A and B are shown apart, each in its own frame.
Chain A
């Protein structure tokens, strides 16, 4: 029986971490939506009650995912991708608008967010395209197609507007890298981001000086042992300097004020402490409150249901994007570091699992899963603890929300199903 063999071969470590995160997440949702009125755990009018229901639905979905044939996912990935894209497109005429973003289908009791489905579908489709025997990622044309697979959902999601979710798809570039995209693409990307940030912080002159010094030093020290393409290097430097010159223009004229404020806050561009404090308490209100809540937790935290700031709803969107601040306040450093460790452990375990796949499709899909989970985890916690600007995406398995929980789980368990099936593939 397929069911029995799946239970034997599934990677239980990942399943345990998954269950641990799910449990901790729900406990904190319970705490952040708790009121003294003594309602039952299963009262579905409360958010923690609803979340409990979603967890039930999720378990049903897990059974379904594991019960299907492993080959089904590879075979139907293209169709799933097309369905997901149609659903995204359908939002424009039929979507429901919540908090300014038209990102949901109203299914009565349940609001479906198709961008969550699109993440799973895109991960599958990308893996399918890259693992195709005819695809050679070293070819420019194939690189372009691979990017296109990622770009289509982005184009559909950005205007909703939901730039946070769009960002997630870019994270899947990791998969392409793993499969042979030259690393200098990554180098370009990192260079772009670095030049952008350092220009904002120190100005074009310092960036230019630094870049020129870097090139000169590099040429002086490395010339003999290492053949360096001098021309591309210098031209990249020149491009970087030109880019740096354009940064201020883009920042002041293309960006909107709210974006500028977020950067001002993040990079501490505002030097006037009074104004900075004002930005902190207005634009950065959420982050300010969540940092304060986490800080007030200390090493051991205030205890379950004892978080005064949590109870007072001081951190907005606390049960969704800012759920990690509740962990910080009520469970302290012990709690937050445990959660960070669990995520790190899960991601590393998934890398290990992906690398042991014999089937390239499974491996590439595995990398897609890792990329998606990682980017959520990185941006969400980074934002909540104040080292990244505010970008609203949920923390996987933690944040309140049905679609999110359901599709993160499906995303993960499809991979666990593929992994449990890896030995059969070879035969």
Chain B
């Protein structure tokens, strides 16, 4: 018994050990991933980020090498400060201050001592740096913008945060990633892949040689260059025109869905978000909550489409067979809803569809709208049919573009109204404002442009996108290259397009004075009533100015939507800008210098100041020759 006692203890302990060891080494074994092994340090070799070109091979975004003088404070040996400062071309006081700051940050980790040396300074310093232990020069690559425009399209890059790290293990603290725009959506393409060298280190973090003689090391892969569909010249010109105005402009090539320009006003110079001043500048932009320069109005601003929406009423009614182009409705300088007369600016009289469109007659389309609903026994069915048709133009939902963000807009469904009014307790009269693009419908400028492209194509559109080529090769993404058809037959488009062309062509058309010589344009103005709340009083503001157009009518090359907040009627700011951009794109030069001058000089800042002035103000001022004129001050990109 006593003999066995010790032997059994020995055996039990042996088994316990084996059990624990198999738990450690077999069950919870996870091979030291090279990256997680604390004994191995990875040194990264960052490839250059891919360049971004516009549709005409013009450089938009490149890279600028920048050289930072780094310091590891605890490795610094006594040195001739004076000589070293002369070499770096900084003052002794500043040098001491920076060194102290670096030491406070961390004595062991590198800090930037002098950021962003020029190439010449770098060449001069590089050889002498060896003599100063603790100091070295690190090369980094900064984004360089060959344009002041398109900040909202291009986006910017910044350091990865905790969330990025958790999502994608390929990132390491301190790396850069695309935050918005192209930089974000095509991050993987642009970034390339970094190279890695593995270094064996000891517990004091000292290097003690290459890990496994470098067999696991990876060579960096260069980022790919991409071409985007934006027309640099058009974008820059458009942003110039948008100076002092808020709103969104989107132009699309109807035959491909390529976005030619995408402007949000106000905007900012993309170079502001590069380098050391990035975060300071960003806060400044981000906290401008009144003009919101970082809010991309071209894809995010949802608002009532206004009169351009009337073209869809005509198309739906034709498709449903409730009217023909020659159907007449009478305009009483307005239309009756119940016993109330609601206004119309078209001049009154009997209207057919053509006149209805080019004079933008509210009464005509209200009647058309009613006809659509009257075709069906219940309003519910009418609403279903109506919203199905409208949605087929890419409205009321995400477009599925390759932009990093977007909004759905709103095309109300029967459920939407059932919630408001109750089941079967509403009729087309309740929602009559939808007929003229007010009411509950809302769209974003890009949706409006896409809708125009669908009309220009006589019944189909391509999903709007900005990517054109990757590494010099045309994209072949089925989502972007296959047409999407609307529910309207091709034959119904022609009369509507004629009406839109007459907006320019016929006297009395709402854009008669905005014709471009030698170019046939089809367009539609819009004037959107809008309200805000000032001191808890609902207050009407100057109307939004809206314009959609495409040209040439026979073979459309550009479809454009311009939405100018508080620009008054459609033919004013939006119509002017649309007309100029179409001319610029198709002719590459502007023949109507007076028109151009007007747009370049006039701003709407006084309009935007009204609600904040605390004083009573007038809206929809007819005389605009006195509109504040502000010379364009270029924001100086700080580097």
A residues in contact (CB < 8 Å) with B = 35-36, 174, 177-178, 183, 291, 294-299, 302, 308-309, 311-314, 328, 332-333, 336-337, 340-341, 343-344, 347-348, 351, 355, 367, 370, 374, 378, 381-382, 385-387
Can you list 9 A-B pairs, Cβ within 8 angstroms, ordered by A? A291-B24, A295-B30, A296-B32, A309-B37, A311-B39, A312-B203, A314-B39, A328-B25, A337-B22
Q: Hey, what's the 0/1 contact readout for B5-30 against A, CB within 8 Å counting as 1?
A: 11101110110111011101110111
List 10 tightest A-B contacts by C-beta distance, closest first.
Answer: A312-B39, A344-B14, A308-B39, A333-B25, A296-B32, A298-B29, A312-B202, A347-B10, A340-B17, A336-B21
**A312-B200 in contact given A328-B21, A333-B25, A385-B24 (Cβ < 8 Å):** yes
Check A309–B20 contact: CB distance below 8 A. Answer: no
Pick from B20, B28, B201: contact of A312, CB under 8 Å? B201
B38 neighbours in A (Cβ, 8 Å): 309, 312, 314
CB of B124, distance to nearest CB on chain A (Å) = 37
13 other A-B residue contacts (CB within 8 Å) besides A336-B25, A374-B9: A174-B6, A178-B2, A296-B29, A298-B25, A308-B32, A308-B39, A308-B200, A309-B39, A344-B11, A351-B3, A378-B13, A386-B20, A387-B16
Residue of A nearest to B211 (CB): A308
A385 neighbours in B (Cβ, 8 Å): 17, 20-21, 24
B137 at interface by CB-CB < 8 Å: no
Residue of B nearest to A312 (CB): B39
Q: Hey, what's the 0/1 contact readout for B21-65 against A, CB within 8 Å counting as 1?
A: 110111011111000011110000000000000000000000000
Q: Which one of B17, B26, B201 has the greatest number of beta carbons of chain A within 10 Å?
A: B17
Residue of A nearest to B7 (CB): A351
B residues in contact (CB < 8 Å) with A = 2-3, 5-7, 9-11, 13-14, 16-18, 20-22, 24-26, 28-32, 37-40, 200-203, 208-209, 211
CA distance A21 to B109 in the complex (A): 44
CB of A206, distance to nearest CB on chain B (Å) = 25
CB of A396, distance to nearest CB on chain B (Å) = 14
Pick from A313, A336, A370: contact of B202, CB under 8 Å? A313
Pick from A296, A333, A348, A387: contact of B22, CB under 8 Å? A333
Check A296–B31 contact: CB distance below 8 A. Answer: yes
Check A311–B21 contact: CB distance below 8 A. Answer: no
CB of B215, distance to nearest CB on chain A (Å) = 12
CA distance A190 to B38 in the complex (A): 41
B31 neighbours in A (Cβ, 8 Å): 296, 298
**A295-B24 in contact given A311-B202, A312-B201 (Cβ < 8 Å):** yes
Check B26–A299 contact: CB distance below 8 A. Answer: yes
Residue of A nearest to B209 (CB): A36
Residue of B nearest to A295 (CB): B24
B30 neighbours in A (Cβ, 8 Å): 295-296
A291 neighbours in B (Cβ, 8 Å): 24
Check B29–A299 contact: CB distance below 8 A. Answer: yes
A311 neighbours in B (Cβ, 8 Å): 39, 200, 202, 208
A386 neighbours in B (Cβ, 8 Å): 20, 24
Residue of A nearest to B41 (CB): A312
Q: Count A-B contacts at CB 8 Å.
A: 110
Residue of A nearest to B38 (CB): A314
CA distance A34 to B32 in the complex (A): 21
Check B14–A308 contact: CB distance below 8 A. Answer: no
Residue of A nearest to B202 (CB): A312
Residue of B nearest to A337 (CB): B18
CA distance A348 to B12 in the complex (A): 12
Residue of B nearest to A36 (CB): B209
CA distance A174 to B16 in the complex (A): 20
Check A294–B21 contact: CB distance below 8 A. Answer: yes
Residue of B nearest to A374 (CB): B10
Check B21–A340 contact: CB distance below 8 A. Answer: yes
B25 neighbours in A (Cβ, 8 Å): 294-295, 297-299, 328, 332-333, 336
A344 neighbours in B (Cβ, 8 Å): 10-11, 13-14
Residue of B nearest to A381 (CB): B17
**A341-B26 in contact given A311-B200, A351-B6 (Cβ < 8 Å):** no
CA distance A385 to B25 in the complex (A): 10
Where chain A touches its partner, the secondary structure class is: helix
Check A382–B29 contact: CB distance below 8 A. Answer: no
**A295-B18 in contact given A309-B38, A312-B200, A348-B11 (Cβ < 8 Å):** no
B9 neighbours in A (Cβ, 8 Å): 374
A36 neighbours in B (Cβ, 8 Å): 208-209
CB of B6, distance to nearest CB on chain A (Å) = 6
CA distance A295 to B37 in the complex (A): 12
Residue of B nearest to A178 (CB): B2
Residue of A nearest to B11 (CB): A344
A299 neighbours in B (Cβ, 8 Å): 25-26, 29
Q: Which one of B2, B5, B31, B32 has the greatest number of beta carbons of chain A within 10 Å?
A: B32
CB of B23, distance to nearest CB on chain A (Å) = 9
Residue of A nearest to B16 (CB): A387
CB of B475, distance to nearest CB on chain A (Å) = 44
A370 neighbours in B (Cβ, 8 Å): 6
CB of B360, distance to nearest CB on chain A (Å) = 67
**A177-B2 in contact given A295-B29, A311-B200, A312-B38 (Cβ < 8 Å):** yes
B6 neighbours in A (Cβ, 8 Å): 174, 178, 351, 367, 370, 374
Check B14–A343 contact: CB distance below 8 A. Answer: yes
B209 neighbours in A (Cβ, 8 Å): 36
Residue of A nearest to B206 (CB): A312
CB of A262, distance to nearest CB on chain B (Å) = 18
B39 neighbours in A (Cβ, 8 Å): 308-309, 311-312, 314
Check A308–B37 contact: CB distance below 8 A. Answer: yes
**A296-B17 in contact given A177-B5, A311-B202 (Cβ < 8 Å):** no
B13 neighbours in A (Cβ, 8 Å): 344, 374, 378
CA distance A403 to B22 in the complex (A): 33
A387 neighbours in B (Cβ, 8 Å): 16, 20
CA distance A204 to B251 in the complex (A): 79
CA distance A399 to B31 in the complex (A): 26
B28 neighbours in A (Cβ, 8 Å): 295
Residue of B nearest to A347 (CB): B10
Q: Which one of A35, A298, A308 has the greatest number of beta carbons of chain B within 10 Å?
A: A308
Residue of B nearest to A174 (CB): B6
CA distance A365 to B331 in the complex (A): 122
CA distance A337 to B5 in the complex (A): 23
Pick from A298, A302, A341, A351: contact of B14, CB under 8 Å? A341
B40 neighbours in A (Cβ, 8 Å): 308
CA distance A236 to B11 in the complex (A): 30
CB of B588, distance to nearest CB on chain A (Å) = 63
B211 neighbours in A (Cβ, 8 Å): 308
A296 neighbours in B (Cβ, 8 Å): 29-32, 37
**A340-B14 in contact given A177-B5, A178-B2, A351-B7 (Cβ < 8 Å):** yes
CA distance A257 to B18 in the complex (A): 32
CA distance A294 to B26 in the complex (A): 10
A174 neighbours in B (Cβ, 8 Å): 6
Q: Which one of B18, B28, B211 has the greatest number of beta carbons of chain A within 10 Å?
A: B18
Residue of A nearest to B29 (CB): A298
Check B203–A313 contact: CB distance below 8 A. Answer: yes
B2 neighbours in A (Cβ, 8 Å): 177-178, 183
CB of A295, distance to nearest CB on chain B (Å) = 5
CA distance A309 to B37 in the complex (A): 8
B208 neighbours in A (Cβ, 8 Å): 35-36, 311-312
CB of B499, distance to nearest CB on chain A (Å) = 70
CA distance A367 to B7 in the complex (A): 11
**A340-B29 in contact given A309-B37, A312-B200, A355-B3 (Cβ < 8 Å):** no
CA distance A336 to B20 in the complex (A): 11
CB of B226, distance to nearest CB on chain A (Å) = 40
CA distance A302 to B25 in the complex (A): 12
CB of B13, distance to nearest CB on chain A (Å) = 6
CA distance A315 to B26 in the complex (A): 21
CB of B18, distance to nearest CB on chain A (Å) = 6
Q: Which one of A36, A296, A340, A348 has the greatest number of beta carbons of chain B within 10 Å?
A: A296
A178 neighbours in B (Cβ, 8 Å): 2-3, 6
